[in-house]
Chain A
């Protein structure tokens, strides 16, 4: 019996991206149907009290779309910087053997710059979570 679909036809890329996509979709379908059945078969007794946001029984005041503190934003920015630079180190790590001493020196320099940047953030208080003392 011939396979209905050859593996190459629908997943031409080496890691089989299409198959991966189908797999993820199948999981979503399965989990979604699980949720649907649970919702369909389970209890359904809606009431005003039940659908109120749960804040330990206290009636919620104000919007829940809080303006959260700036350090969270800073963490996100630092993460972007370090993670993108991590991507360079990734590609270096797999071709480490071929790159030789020059590759090592370049990447060490790169990591040194990263560390310098981290030190700068640290000293300048970018990593602090306490409110800074008011200047002037």
Chain B
């Protein structure tokens, strides 16, 4: 899919745009795969769909070294404090993609056991719907995030 890689007037832009460009081009996701969506996230990182072309195939195990948290799967009540702890350990600037129906809204499991939407626990930037969203949908979400960062809509730090 065509993606504009060179911002216009590269040498004349201010530092902020350069920083945004650098942030989008090597965003490291933190491993936060929980359930079925995690398998699709792994599939999008492997050879057929290949996140490596966006510089993102390195899933950092340590949240201290990651800047993107893709919450892939259903978040149970027991997991919510863990989710928050991992999010808090990530240094700024950080972004959150809520992948799948269960992470975005609780999905088909409207019951006692799940947090109805991970935005109850962490602030979310992009919601990717699907059950599970295929790798194409996840990549669309990631690239939308890149676009938003490049445009300066998500100003962090």
> Are both chains from one complex?
no
Using a CB–CB cutoff of 8 Å, the interface residues on chain A facing chain B are none
B contacts, CB < 8 Å to A = none
